[in-house]
Amino acid sequence: MANHFHCTACGKCCYGQLPLTCKDAFANAVIFPLCFVWTPLRYGSKDYALVATLGTTIKLADRKELAVLIVPTAYLPSSFPCPALGDDNLCTIHLSKPSRCKTMPFYPYREERYQSELLTPRQGWACDTSTVAPLVFQDKKIVFRDDFDQERQELQAQVPILRGYAEYMLKYSPSLVNSLVQASSKVKAGHVVTSLSSFLTATKNPEAKQIAQLQLPILNNYVAKTAGDTRLADFHKNYLNWSKEMAYLSQRP
Ligand code: SF4
Ligand code: SF4
């Protein structure tokens, strides 16, 4: 089976949450409101082994196990455009855009043989999948693979730091396990979010204060943008809490 794909730069996929590598998250701390999204998978789920390799595994009391992806994320409601999307629907940081955007529509947390499933555009997306477009997937392999391999390598390299973060959070926020178990029982990819400040603290990041100073105005902006909209109440509450945490971190000696 062969698949063709060409991005016509319609900008329609540049809305909502954007998964990032740690490197891309910190490089864009002045643009994106950041957090960590934990997505649990039950044993036996498709992509379980890959998620366990790129994330972590958590033993449960009943001798079962969850694989959990922990992903630095630009945290945006699905109706909100990426802050780097220009009025002309083009990316204003195209030359330095995150690995996630370079690899689109392929997704590194999915086994390569299943990547063709991601080449069907969602409703409203203007991706060209006609045979005129370049051949991008054949014989269960990605054809032009430099960006995909680069993103996978970045994700593999950051596994130790994310596992250290997971250990810290499970030690100091034991209720997180229950939240992950609940999220794993949802039919459609449940998740749990944790703050950037918890990551900066857990990993003793030497740049924590500077990163907090960059994040504070971004978070305050999204506090204002989501105020008064009941559909965005969860986002608003998170932005507000994270803003307070960043205010504290940014004033630390
Ligand atoms: S960084 Fe650029 S390509 Fe990536 S989601 Fe934002 S606007 Fe789109
Ligand atoms: S929706 Fe498709 S065509 Fe539009 S920007 Fe995204 S990848 Fe490109």
Q: Whose CA is nearest to atom 4 of ligand 2?
A: 10
- Measured in Å, residue 92 CA sits from the centre of ligand 2 at 15
- Measured in Å, residue 59 CA sits from the centre of ligand 1 at 36
Is the Cα torsion angle 215, 17, 226, 233 positive or negative in sign?
Answer: negative
Helix, coil or strand: residue 121: coil
CA 139 to CA 112: how far, in whole Å? 11
pLDDT tens digit at each of 253 positions of the chain: 799 999 999 999 999 999 999 999 999 999 999 999 999 998 888 889 999 999 999 988 877 899 999 999 999 999 999 999 999 999 999 999 999 999 999 999 999 999 999 999 999 999 999 999 999 999 999 999 999 999 999 999 999 999 999 999 999 998 999 999 999 987 676 899 999 999 999 999 999 999 999 999 999 999 999 999 999 999 999 999 999 999 999 998 7
Peptide bond just before 105 cis, omega within 30 deg: yes
At CB < 8 A and 24+ separation, what contacts does 124-129 make? Answer: 124/12, 125/10, 125/12, 125/13, 126/8, 126/10, 126/12, 127/5, 127/6, 127/7, 127/8, 127/10, 128/4, 128/5, 128/6, 128/7, 128/8, 129/3, 129/4, 129/5, 129/6
Nearest to 252 by CA among 199, 200, 193: 200
- Measured in Å, residue 79 CA sits from the centre of ligand 2 at 16
| Longest CA span, the chain | 59
CA dihedral angle for residue 160, residue 204, residue 30, residue 35, rounded to 10 degrees? 60
Q: Measured from the CA of 83, which atom of ligand 1 is nearest?
A: 6
User: Which of 7, 100, 101, 107 has the most ligand 2 atoms within 8 A of CB, as the residue to mutate?
Assistant: 7
Q: Whose CA is nearest to atom 8 of ligand 1?
A: 14
